[in-house]
Structure 1
C-alpha cells in the first residue's frame, strides 16, 4: 500500500513538473517572439538612422536580435515537444539549448557592460563628424535626410549642442543661404527658418547624442536578455 502511495506521489510530481515546465516554456517562447519583433521593427522603422551610425555593428545588432529571437522561438517549440512527448532525448536537447542561450546571454551582458561607454563616445563623436563633413553635400542625400528626420523626430539640434553646426561645411558654404543651423532644427520648419538662431525658433534640447546613446544602450541590453 505504501509502495502504491509512493508511486502515486511520483506521478503527481511528474505532472506538476510538466505543467511548470510548460508554463515556463510559454513565457520563454513569448520572450523570443518579442526579441525577434524588436529586431524586425528596428530594421523596418529605424533604418533611416543607420546611415549616421558609427559602423555596421549597429545595423548588425538588429540582425543579432532577430537571430537570437529565432533561436529562442525554436528552442521554445522544442520545449513544448519535449513536455508533450516526455522523451529524454528531447529534454536533453532542450536543456543543452537553454544552457547555450544562457552562456550567450552571459557573454553578451559582460561585453555590453565593458564596451557601452566606449561605444557611446564613439557614436557621439561620429555623429558630430557626420554633421560637419557630410550634411547636404553632393552624394550625401541619404545622410542629410537621416539627420533632418532625427532632429525633427527627437526635437533636438546638433549632437552635443546647436553650436556643432558652426563648423559644418554646409553652414560655412554659400549653399546654406546664410543659415546658422539647418531648417530641421526649427521648432516650426519653414523655408530658411534656420537663419534665425533664437531660443523661440531653434530647438535647444540638444539631446541627439544622448538619445542615440540611450538607443544604443537599450539595444545592447536587449542583446543581453
Structure 2
C-alpha cells in the first residue's frame, strides 16, 4: 500500500511538472504578445497622445510593456523551478505571477475607466487644444498630431471646420490668409486652406468622434489583453500551488 501511494504521488508530481512546463511555454509566448501590443500602441498609435489631457492612455501602455517583459522572465524562471523541483524558486515564481496578475488587472481596469471618460475629456479639451496650441511655439507635437488627424480621418476641426475661426494661429498674420490649416484640404497644396469651399475642405466632418472611436478601439485591445492574460495566470498559480505542496520541503 505504501509503495502504491508513493508511486501515485510521483505520477501526480510528474503530471503537474509537465502541465506547469506547458503553461510556462505558452505563458512566455503570451508575454511576448503582451509586450508587442504595448510597443505597437506606443510606437505606431501614439501620435494623438498630445491631444489628450489625461496620461491614462500612456500609463496603460507602459504597464502592458512592463508586464510583458516580466512575464517572459517569469516564464523562464517557472521552467527552471519546475524541473529543478526547488520550492524556494516556486515561491518566487508564484509571487511574480501574482504581481503580473495585479499589473494586468490594473491595466485592464484603467483602460475600462478611461474608455468611459474619453468622450467627456475630448468634448471638454480637444477644441481648445486644437485652436490654442496649433502652430504655437513649443507645441510642435500638437501641430503634427492635428495635421495627421485631419488628413488620416478626413476631418476638419474638433466639431466641424468652423472651429478654426477661433484659432490663435488663423487670427494671427502667420496663417498667410488661410481660413483653415492646409491639412483640412481634400488635396493638400500650399495655401489651399485659403479657399472655403466644400469641394476643397472637409467642412462637414469634425474630428472628435473619429478620434474617440479610434482610441476606444485601442483601449478595447489593451483591456482585453490585460484581463485575458490575467485570467490565464490563475491556472498557472493553481498548478504552482499544487506542485509546491507535492514536493518535500527542502533541507536548509
TM-score bracket for the superposition, by shorter chain length: 0.7 to 0.9
Match of 1:103 in 2: 102
Match of 1:54 in 2: 53
Match of 1:152 in 2: 151
Q: Is the counterpart of residue 65 in structure 1 residue 85 in structure 2?
A: no
**8 Å Cα contact 2:78-2:90 kept in structure 1:** yes
Return the alpha-carbon distance in structure 2 between the equivalents of residues 171 and 158 of structure 1.
12
After TM superposition, give the deviation of residue 49 of structure 1 in Å.
Answer: 3.1
C-alpha change, 1:99 and 1:180, in structure 2 (3 Å) is same
C-alpha change, 1:112 and 1:41, in structure 2 (3 Å) is closer
Q: Which runs of 5+ in 2 are unaligned?
A: 230-252
CA shift digits 1:166-207 (9 cap, x unpaired): 322223334333433211122321122223344443345532
**8 Å Cα contact 2:147-2:183 kept in structure 1:** yes
Match of 2:247 in 1: none
Relative CO higher for 1 or 2, CA cutoff 8 Å, sep ≥ 6? 2
TM-score (normalised: structure 2): 0.73
Q: CA RMSD in A?
A: 2.9
Match of 2:15 in 1: 16
Q: Is the counterpart of residue 81 in structure 1 residue 80 in structure 2?
A: yes
**8 Å Cα contact 1:157-1:208 kept in structure 2:** no
Return the alpha-carbon distance in structure 2 between the equivalents of residues 198 and 80 of structure 1.
65
C-alpha change, 1:135 and 1:202, in structure 2 (3 Å) is same
Match of 2:165 in 1: 166
C-alpha change, 1:199 and 1:218, in structure 2 (3 Å) is farther
Return the alpha-carbon distance in structure 2 between the equivalents of residues 159 and 217 of structure 1.
23
Return the alpha-carbon distance in structure 2 between the equivalents of residues 220 and 159 of structure 1.
27
C-alpha change, 1:109 and 1:43, in structure 2 (3 Å) is closer
Return the alpha-carbon distance in structure 2 between the equivalents of residues 139 and 98 of structure 1.
43
After TM superposition, give the deviation of residue 40 of structure 1 in Å.
Answer: 2.9
TM-score (normalised: structure 1): 0.80
After TM superposition, give the deviation of residue 134 of structure 1 in Å.
Answer: 1.0
After TM superposition, give the deviation of residue 135 of structure 1 in Å.
Answer: 0.7
**8 Å Cα contact 2:63-2:103 kept in structure 1:** no
> Aligned pairs, how many?
224
After TM superposition, give the deviation of residue 131 of structure 1 in Å.
Answer: 0.7
Matches within 5 A, 1:103-142: 103-142=102-141
